Amino acid sequence: MTDHGLRTGTVAPTSAGPIDFGPDGILFVADNVAATVHAVDVADPGAAAASEPFDLDDVDARIGSLLGSDAADVAIRDLAVHPTTHNVYLSVQRGHGAAGTAVLVRIDRVDASISEVLLVDVPLATLAITDAPAEDDERQDVTLPLGAHEGEELPVGERTIRIQRSAIRTSTITDMAYVDGMLFVAGLSNEEFSSKLRRYPFPFTGRAADNNLEIFHVSHGQWETAAPIRVFVPYDDGRSILASYTCTPVVHFSLADLRSGTKVVGRTVAELGPLNQPLDMVSFVQDGAEHLLIANTSHGLLTIACADIDRQEPLTQMTEPVGVPRKTEELPGVVRLDNFGEGYVLALQRDDSGRHHLRSLKVSSL
Amino acid sequence: MTPAGPGVRIEIRPASAAGAGAGPGWPATTGAVVVDGADACFVPRHPFLAGTTYAVRVDGTETLLHRAGIDTPATAHVVGIHPTCPTVPRNLLRCYVEFDRPMSEGFAARSVRLIEANGTELVDALLPTEPELWDGARRRLTVLLDPGRIKRGLVGHRAVGYPLPTGGDVRLVIDERMRDADGRPLRAAAQRSYRVGADERRPIDPTAWTVPPPPTGTGDDLVVRFDRPLDHALLGRCLRVLDPLGAPVPGRATPGPQDRSWRLSPARPWRAGEHRLVVDPVLEDLAGNSVTRVFDRELDRPGGRTPPPASVPFLLA
């Protein structure tokens, strides 16, 4: 494999964020507190897998057993399946507050063994997310660090105290996807209501400032709005993106339309309904036709045919059902999705008691 | 199994998982065993968590050990809730809650609530965000009201309506269940009350602000007064003043009461000539309207794409 600009290094993510596989088994790992994305060669030890199902109950309790914590102290932030071995990677926040740590976990799909993936002396490259605390924002919060070695020393008179500077403005990465040499990153600012979708060339070049894209969308032909993209999925061989927003419209835009510094208005093709939040999206091929699967907070999994998206006129009428036809799978509580070979989609499901399970969904049955 | 000294095997799991199963799918807690003479010490890779009970199995004999929870008194408290004005627009988008010390994530959904005057909680008014929106020091929490219920034309807005009651009174409450970075609750609940006013659907117009020039040669404050309250956080970074040569005027900038004004205390006396108050276009008001766009723009309304003024000139004689 090519080195993709990776160099041997060690990193300890401070917070567990989204993860997504890129080319050649490289995993993108977002660290929201540090406002960075690490590209890591995880050197997956597994063999190439056929398309077989994999199910595992109580995955949070199992991870807690490994990490020495109750399931209640395990927050699974994201799920990614290795494209070749189908081993399962989970981005996990263990504990809360000062005791909280970010951990990357691998579950072997053959024997369900669970191990921690240490990012120590591994090939990696790190990207600083622009538009996080930037040069034009000098505001910082100064606190006394909890540890004896964190932060920096500051002379005060004849004494020296240790302080920690933290940016006040932050940008929380909500989703990532790799498309044809570009890493797309959606995020949520803790200040402005921005709809920026960032894209960074990979291998990382350190340049991305000219790649912030403001994606607008139109509601029912009457109101043009911008909002943070919560989750998105590339499809049509990377030519299109379907994005879902915090305010629930599902919007199509073409990657060919994206030009830096220009305003992009997507085509609103559906709404997910009131009091609903998009959680994850994945594309799959069924009988030769591409479909999208959308996990959300209020309904079961929604399946949409990409051909219907292409046919869907921009929404102009406020009538039910709103937008592109969709099929609802009666599988409640799915919070994360990823492809599991061509034959399955792997879902992380939260049941009524708060336990989390991995479930294989057969593509031909969706 | 974790091998220890000669003939000794130590295996530790959280008690909640100890009886769940065995095999590779139920691994023991990862760590290293350090043997010191007759003693064997298990050093977990991740520190044992306060309030967690562990099942420790040594040579087949199991003992439960409980790591005590944090029992020091609660000290964290809320030091600010924004907006601070008594009346907010019905389409209020965002609030900020400031704490005096770093906090834990994961508790806002149950601890931060909007409550009507009659005591009824406004369920589903606040947007659940996971992960939560904190600043870098974990001392300021950003709370969003559900934008799908604010934006006109969306199903959420039509079916459920605004998150805030028209013309009513509401309280933003932060109860003791929030946890500081050490896991302790708040010392006391905090709240701020608001009257819900009319919608705010206009873009921010800096030409509607008053910018009285301070006297030349003095170090008097420049006080910019707005036509409405603006977003507290953005106000902290979106305004600056350029002197006649185009250089930033150094000084200390602070948002004014209720975020209806902005004050610049210059580090040097004012010079004569035309100054400019420069506005970052991302500056928003309480309803998410910015200088460049309104929260939801009616396409058939003329003037929506008029370029906004980037700065406001003011002359010092």
pLDDT attached to residue B143: 96
Residue A81: pLDDT over 60: yes
pLDDT attached to residue A135: 42
Domains B78-197 and B206-296+308-316 share a fold: yes
pTM, to two decimals: 0.89
Q: What is the dihedral of CA A278, A283, A284, A289, to 10 degrees?
A: 110
Non-local CB neighbours of A11 within 8 Å, separated by 6+ positions: A38, A40, A119, A124, A126
Phi, psi of A147 (to 5 degrees): -90, 165
pLDDT attached to residue A132: 46
Q: What mean pLDDT is predicted for residues B111-117?
A: 96
Peptide bond into A321 cis (omega under 30): yes
Pick from A175, A216, A194, A202: which is nearest to A134 by CA?
A: A194
pLDDT attached to residue A163: 67
Beta bridge partners of B204: none
Q: Which of A66, A190, A249 is closest, CB to CB, to B154? A: A249
Residue A200: pLDDT over 70: yes
Q: Chain A closest CA to B192's CA: distance in Å? A: 20
pLDDT attached to residue A164: 64
Position with higher pLDDT, A173 vs A268: A173
Predicted complex ipTM: 0.87
Q: Give the architecture-level CATH label for domain B78-197.
A: Sandwich (2.60)
Cβ–Cβ of B14/A56 closer than 8 Å? no
Please give the mean pLDDT across all residues of chain A. Answer: 84
Strand B87-89 and strand B53-58: the pairing is: unpaired
pLDDT attached to residue B230: 97
Residue ranges of the domains in chain B? 2-66, 78-197, 206-296+308-316
Rounded Cα distance, B194 and B180, in Å: 26
Q: Chain A closest CA to B157's CA: distance in Å? A: 7
Please give the mean pLDDT across all residues of chain B. Answer: 89
Cβ–Cβ of A68/B128 closer than 8 Å? no
> Domain B206-296+308-316: which topology?
Immunoglobulin-like (2.60.40)
Please tell me the least confidently modeled range out of A142-156, A176-190, B85-99, B107-121.
A142-156
Cβ–Cβ of A15/B131 closer than 8 Å? yes
Q: What percent of chain A has pLDDT over 70?
A: 82
pLDDT attached to residue A244: 87
Position with higher pLDDT, B45 vs A259: B45
Non-local CB neighbours of B175 within 8 Å, separated by 6+ positions: B111, B113, B186, B189
Chain B residues touching A109 at Cβ < 8 A: none
B316 pLDDT tier (thresholds 50, 70, 90): confident
Residue A345 identity (one-letter amino acid):
V
Q: Which of B156, B298, B304 is closest, CB to CB, to A275? A: B156
Chain A residues touching B131 at Cβ < 8 A: 15, 17, 32, 77, 172
Chain B residues touching A229 at Cβ < 8 A: none
Peptide bond into B131 cis (omega under 30): yes
Residue A275: pLDDT over 80: no
Residue B298: pLDDT over 70: no
Pick from B239, B167, B207: which is nearest to B312 by CA?
A: B207
Q: Which of B131, B142, B297 is closest, CB to CB, to A223? A: B297
Chain A and chain B share a number of CB contacts under 8 A equal to: 250
Cβ–Cβ of B25/A62 closer than 8 Å? yes
End-to-end CA, chain A: 35
Chain B residues touching A62 at Cβ < 8 A: 17, 20, 25-27
A298 pLDDT tier (thresholds 50, 70, 90): confident
Q: What percent of chain A has pLDDT over 90?
A: 48
Rounded Cα distance, B135 and A170, in Å: 6
Strand A152-156 and strand A212-219: the pairing is: unpaired
- Confirm if B238 and B283 have CB atoms less than 8 A apart: yes
DSSP annotation string for A191-251: SS---EEEEEESS--S--GGGEEEEEEEETTTEEEE--EEEEEEETTTTEEEEEETT-EEE
Smallest CA–CA distance from A190 into chain B, residue: B133
User: Most A CBs within 10 Å: which of B135, B146, B155, as the mutation test of the A interface?
Assistant: B155
Chain A residues touching B158 at Cβ < 8 A: 274, 318
Smallest CA–CA distance from B21 into chain A, residue: A62
Cβ–Cβ of B136/A133 closer than 8 Å? yes
Q: Chain B closest CA to A103's CA: distance in Å? A: 10
Cβ–Cβ of B93/A274 closer than 8 Å? no
pLDDT attached to residue A80: 98
Beta bridge partners of B313: B276
